[in-house]
Amino acid sequence: MTSLLDKMARRREELARGGLLRQRCCFAAAPGRERLLHPVAQAQATGKPLLDFAANDYLGLARHPKVISALAKGAEIYGCGSGASPLVSGYSEAHLKLEQGLCRALGAEAALLFSCGFAANTALMKTLFSAEDTVIADKLVHASMIDGLRDSKAKIRRFAHNDMAAATALLARHPGSAVLTETVFSMDGDRAPLGKLSHLCQEHGSPLILDDAHGFGLFESSSLPVFARLVTFGKALGGQGAAIVGSQELIDYLVANAREYIYSTALSPACCMGVLEALELIQQEPLLERLNANIALFRRSCQAAGISLMPSESPIQPLLVGESGKCMALAARLLERGFLVGAIRPPTVPQGSARLRITLSAEHREQDILALASALTELIA
């Protein structure tokens, strides 16, 4: 036990020295404003609420009255949890209806629900692939895909980010291999050339697997012939959980073989009812229009102030800082001014590319966005 505790202490000190030690921050919602948070832990106490520019609730559906009402109704019907794994007694009508709703939205045959996106991605990789397989992946695919592929023992061949020439060369050497990419990349905020990748995969008879976590509900890609698609509920849908969407054959295979699905308690039925309501709302309300207006306003304001953002049309607006300590200091100064933003450091991003990950929402008001741009201008100038 002593040697293990020593190992833990050494690792903690190593991370702290490099400015890479991760610690949790506790926040409470501020009543009356959806994008305000009150710091709870003393380390984050600033004496005033914070404008939240760190969450992934892009369309502001997490606190939409209709979503809350649907989730509450689900709790009244089913209780707090599901009570068992999906293959025992945990699969309810609420799960079925959400799967069907996702299939309608994406024009797919079947869907399978998981507790989170990380579990869904690792399950998909570990269940589909083995040591005999070669998988081709964009350099920046999510850690959940990489971890699942490592567990599967498959050979991973990675092409430079969004580099079609490199992807083409790899597929020429490994025809028929699955290709992995994302719709919107979570740390850069840019989009994959999905049309070109889809055409390339069809030419080589290769299945295209799409991590649509940050793109679903924001960018249309349902017409693409995708072998498997990951959808998460914690981004545009404002909920919790995830799904793999694809053919009935794929989903039946996962039900019978995916250990993360077989041996996990099913997602809460109440949560499913809330997500299903959110899924209907994104097709009815002008939430995306408001979000896109906020993105355009923020980028215009930064450009006018001479602030260089990374190229992104998505709600993820990264500001490259470089050194981890400098990035953390800038985030801390923004916190003092009432703005909560993500400070992203290695190993999430490569060494020397630490950044502020500013995320915008349909809920942000114009004055919120202009105030953040003004604060950035003062701190960076």
Residue 12 inside a domain? The answer is no
Pairs from 55-58 (Cβ < 8 Å, separation ≥ 24): 55/359, 55/361, 56/214, 56/234, 56/235, 56/315, 56/359, 57/234, 57/235, 57/238, 57/361, 57/363, 58/217, 58/218, 58/235, 58/236, 58/291, 58/315, 58/359, 58/360, 58/361, 58/362
pTM assigned to the model: 0.92
Residue 187 inside a domain? The answer is yes
Q: Are residues 269 and 296 in the same domain?
A: no
Residue 15 inside a domain? The answer is no
Last residue of a domain, one of 281, 314, 348: 281
Give me the mean pLDDT over the 340-365 stretch: 93
- In the predicted structure, residue 381 carries a pLDDT above the cut 80: no
Give me the mean pLDDT over the 301-329 stretch: 94
Q: Are residues 158 and 259 in the same domain?
A: yes
The 8-class DSSP code of residue 89 comes to I
- Tell me the pLDDT tens digit for each residue of 262-309: 999 999 999 999 999 999 999 888 999 999 999 999 999 999 999 999
Specify the pLDDT at position 41. Answer: 53
Helix, strand or coil, per DSSP, at residue 296: helix
Neighbours of 369 (CB within 10 A): 25
Confidence of residue 32 (pLDDT cuts 50, 70, 90): low
- In the predicted structure, residue 43 carries a pLDDT above the cut 50: no
Q: Are residues 153 and 256 in the same domain?
A: yes
CA distance 124 to 302: 39
- Tell me the pLDDT tens digit for each residue of 98-118: 999 999 999 999 999 999 999
Residue 142 inside a domain? The answer is yes
**Mean pLDDT estimate for the chain:** 93
- In the predicted structure, residue 177 carries a pLDDT above the cut 90: yes
Give me the mean pLDDT over the 133-141 stretch: 97
CA distance 220 to 194: 11
**Ramachandran region, residue 322 (left: φ > 0; alpha: ψ -120 to 50; beta: rest):** left
CA distance 59 to 50: 19
The 8-class DSSP code of residue 192 comes to -
CA distance 220 to 235: 15
Q: How far apart are the first and last CA of the chain?
A: 50
- In the predicted structure, residue 341 carries a pLDDT above the cut 50: yes
Q: Are residues 94 and 205 in the same domain?
A: yes
Q: Are residues 250 and 155 in the same domain?
A: yes
- In the predicted structure, residue 92 carries a pLDDT above the cut 80: yes
Please say whether the dihedral angle defined by the alpha carbons of residues 248, 254, 255 and 260, taken in this order, is positive or negative. Answer: negative
Q: Are residues 31 and 93 in the same domain?
A: no
Q: Are residues 103 and 84 in the same domain?
A: yes
Give me the mean pLDDT over the 246-269 stretch: 97
For the chain, what is the domain count? 2
Specify the pLDDT at position 36. Answer: 74
CA distances from residue 51 to 129, 216, 369 in whole angstroms, order as listed: 43, 25, 10
Closest CA to 239 of 264, 265, 266, 273: 273
Give me the mean pLDDT over the 55-84 stretch: 95
Query: Would you please indicate which residues are annotated as catalytic (active-site) residues?
Result: 56, 142, 182, 186, 211, 214, 235
Q: Which of 24-28, 119-123, 302-306 has the lowest mean pLDDT?
A: 24-28
Q: Which of 32-41, 114-123, 281-290, 309-318 has the lowest mean pLDDT?
A: 32-41
Last residue of a domain, one of 281, 313, 330: 281
Q: Are residues 167 and 310 in the same domain?
A: no
- Tell me the pLDDT tens digit for each residue of 186-235: 999 999 999 999 999 999 999 999 999 999 999 999 999 999 999 999 99
Q: Are residues 256 and 293 in the same domain?
A: no
Contacts of 24 (CB under 8 A, 6+ apart): none
Read off the CATH number of the domain in which 295 is found: 3.90.1150.10
Which token pair is 52?
Answer: 């939240």
Read off the CATH number of the domain in which 98 is found: 3.40.640.10
Specify the pLDDT at position 42. Answer: 43
Length of the chain (residues) = 381
Specify the pLDDT at position 39. Answer: 67
Residue 104 inside a domain? The answer is yes
Give me the mean pLDDT over the 320-344 stretch: 93
Alpha carbon 63 to its chain's center: 18
CA distance 189 to 197: 18
Q: What are phi and psi of 320, to 5 degrees?
A: -70, 130
Q: Are residues 190 and 330 in the same domain?
A: no
Beta strands at 354-359 and 110-114: parallel, antiparallel or unpaired: unpaired
Specify the pLDDT at position 7. Answer: 92
Q: Are residues 121 and 267 in the same domain?
A: yes
Q: Are residues 241 and 375 in the same domain?
A: no
Residue 16 inside a domain? The answer is no
Beta strands at 178-182 and 134-138: parallel, antiparallel or unpaired: parallel
- Per the CB < 8 A criterion, the answer to whether 244 and 122 are in contact is no
* Percent of the chain topping pLDDT 90: 86
Which token pair is 20?
Answer: 């890479």
Closest CA to 317 of 381, 361, 351: 361
Helix, strand or coil, per DSSP, at residue 254: helix
Residue 7 inside a domain? The answer is no
Last residue of a domain, one of 250, 281, 312: 281
Residue 210 inside a domain? The answer is yes
Closest CA to 172 of 189, 185, 159, 161: 159
Could you list the residue range(s) of the whole structural domain that residue 221 is in?
65-281
